[in-house]
Structure 1
Amino acid sequence: MAKRVVVSHFFNEAYLLPWWLRHHREIFDHGVLIDYHSTDDSVAICRELVPHWEVVSSENATFAALLCDFEVMKHEQRFPDAWKLALNTTEFFVAPGLAKMERVVAQHDLTGVCLPGAVMVDTDPHNPPDPLRPLVEQKATGIWEDEIDFAALAIPGLTFPTRSRLYHRYAIGAYTPGRHNSHLPRQCNGSRELGSIRWYGFSPWSNAFKARKLQISDRRDSFDVKNGFGAQHQADIAELDGRWSKLRPLSGILRNAA
């Protein structure tokens, strides 16, 4: 069976990383974790929870979307025969039918699967999640992206489905900026029953979670600011709470959840 490899990058993610690492170490054989020069305990957490995975320092001083994608793909290329998935720390891969999904791709000689995405929105923010229990079990409310009226919401950076990720077996993902799409041929659309991406963009809605969102804007590269990459990160606490308030009434337990 082909190896499964996850590639991710992080900056000061000590709050979410324990949940993320414990979740994905059960799915992937190996991980490459790119540290964007964190100043908290993120690296130590990685070394403790996944000592057999790689933690590498980013070659980029700031977060630049195009250079980040290029760096991710350079690491992907090191595992030419593996199944690969590139994720952010807010993205949890839920795949009860992963083996079946891989068989379908192989049988039809496809390149990979575009996984459906859901925006996770905390409907019970006064009930904080237990750090030692799986986050996907405790905070399971969200909205499937294909059920969102993005125009009606009018939330910056949330204007079209962007949480789909490509689970693929090519050398690199050949991604468009942000890795939201890919130029690779012979892709197929995945199903919720087999596998999906749960984006914890608005969950758990705690002070610690909001603090990690607020730190991102200062890390954006000047080129990205000038050209509108990562505009969703440019927000203060009032703006973040306003976005969450718009999404909360739409959020519920996801159908076809694992």
Structure 2
Amino acid sequence: MPETSAPHEMPLAVKWFVDDPKPRVRALSPHEVLVRGWMFALDGSPMHGVVRIAEMPDVAFTQTTNRDDVVTHFRGQHEVPTQCGFQLQVPLPASNSTEVELTLLVAIKGSENFSPPTTVRIRRMSALPWPAPPLRSTVISHFYNEEYLLPLWLRHHLPLFDHGILINRGSTDRSVEICRELAPHWEVRNATCPEFDAEEVDKEVMAVEREITGWKFALNTTEFLHVHSRDSFYAALHLWSGQAYAIGMAYLMDPKEAAYPEFDTSRPIAAQRHHGWLRPVFGYRYIHRFEDGNYTVGRHLTLHPTDVVPLEAAVLLKLFLTPWNEPFKRRRLQIRPTLSQKSIALGQGSRHHVATEGELEDYYHSKIAHSSDLRREPRLQWLFAPNQPNHRRQVVDAWRELLRTIITACSHALGRRKRPDDSSR
């Protein structure tokens, strides 16, 4: 890197998330790390900055930020607008060593006056087999008449958690029996709060959390944690050394044009549904090892300091407006009569306020415009399209199939025209 004798006329500062003297670096796999930071001009002037990895000047990185204007690509470095966070997914150089050293430099675009280099030593995430999780993991969920979704939810989460505490809020269907049949080693207890009161339910969840140690994760029956593997997920949480992590949520929906087949509760969700909404606000749940989650009402926010798990590593799929069939609609409509008067007065749990099929359809139409095909979301390709060919290949295959059909039809037509008695003429 060329040396310069005079500093650039615009002062530059770099701040690494979150108030750390070093950049926030997270291992995603044995071959990739995530680097996050914040840069800004000290005088607040408009500027563009550049982030460079000195050891890999010719590597084209992959952007993983949730804002389209934060990072633009070119070979070997990234441009970053004024006062914006940046997030780079960086491939690690091939090596047998357990640690990798990277030198991060930041400069104003068009200038070779880079900030003082920041050198970080990154512990390469172990290759398989992953180390055993050092902490016990427990999922907590409260339920009310969930016999439609509970079999799918239990089968999905049993392999992901050491233990489960399932809180029955007065179910009158087979929900309790299903829990005891499919998860006999998990605990089923009755709720202390029979009404669906948003504040009281969250207090009850936190009271349960205070009884246990290790990783704690409170989920609803419509929320499904998806990770690459159980062992790699908990190894990453341990390696990153955080106390609490936010995991992003994709709100799955059934747009009419998708024409999905009937939902099969014995099959994986991602194999059946791929339209949804990556909600930017209230779109998280929190796995933590604090005494309790210290949640705000609804458990979509916590007052604890947290880190965000990249969507490339984990995501929650929420059955929000899917499967849009009669059992799911009945499930939604049964909640309104159980809401407490206090929650209704405070507008808490507004999506549960619908009481009629007409109101539920109106709610569906007010939200469905947010949905998009999540197979096109690069951060979720590992889940929705791990082996799927690209769109161009799909188009080519479709045209080939159409051409094959036309040729077959023409062959049959010519065969019918060429009859044995016609050949003698």
TM-score (norm 2): 0.54
Deviates more, 1:198-207 or 1:238-247: 238-247
Which residues of 2 match residues 1-258 of structure 1 at below 5 A? 1=133, 2-80=135-213, 82-96=214-228, 99-123=231-255, 124=258, 127-146=261-280, 161-185=281-305, 187-235=306-354, 236-248=356-368, 250-254=371-375, 255=377, 256=380, 257-258=382-383
Contact residue 248 and residue 316 of structure 2 kept, 8 A: yes
Does the residue aligned with 2:270 lie in a helix, a strand or coil? helix
- Amino acid paired to 2:285: R
Paired with 1:143 and 1:191, the residues of 2 have a C-alpha distance of: 16
Deviates more, 1:194-203 or 1:136-145: 136-145
What's the CA shift for 1:174? 0.8
What's the CA shift for 1:132? 1.9
Paired with 1:98 and 1:195, the residues of 2 have a C-alpha distance of: 10
Deviates more, 1:71-80 or 1:40-49: 71-80
Deviates more, 1:126-135 or 1:59-68: 126-135
Which has the larger share of strand?
Answer: 2
Summarize deviations over 1:17-42 as a string: whole Å, max 9, x none.
11111101121111000000100011
What's the CA shift for 1:181? 0.5
Higher relative contact order (CA 8 A, sep 6+): 1
Paired with 1:197 and 1:135, the residues of 2 have a C-alpha distance of: 11
**Structure possessing the higher radius of gyration over alpha carbons:** 2
Paired with 1:39 and 1:175, the residues of 2 have a C-alpha distance of: 29
Deviates more, 1:205-214 or 1:95-104: 95-104
Contact residue 97 and residue 195 of structure 1 kept, 8 A: no
Does the residue aligned with 1:178 lie in a helix, a strand or coil? coil
What's the CA shift for 1:201? 1.0
- Amino acid paired to 1:214: L
Paired with 1:183 and 1:76, the residues of 2 have a C-alpha distance of: 15
Cα RMSD for the two superposed structures: 1.9
- Call closer, same or farther: CA 1:188–1:126 in 2, change over 3 Å: closer
Does the residue aligned with 1:213 lie in a helix, a strand or coil? helix
What's the CA shift for 1:111? 1.4
What's the CA shift for 1:246? 4.5
- Call closer, same or farther: CA 1:125–1:71 in 2, change over 3 Å: farther
What's the CA shift for 1:117? 1.1
Paired with 1:107 and 1:130, the residues of 2 have a C-alpha distance of: 37
Does the residue aligned with 1:177 lie in a helix, a strand or coil? coil
Identity %: 35
What's the CA shift for 1:136? 3.3
Contact residue 344 and residue 353 of structure 2 kept, 8 A: no
Q: Unaligned 5+ residue runs, structure 1?
A: 147-160
Q: Unaligned 5+ residue runs, structure 2?
A: 1-132, 384-425
What's the CA shift for 1:231? 1.6
Does the residue aligned with 2:277 lie in a helix, a strand or coil? strand
Paired with 1:9 and 1:224, the residues of 2 have a C-alpha distance of: 17
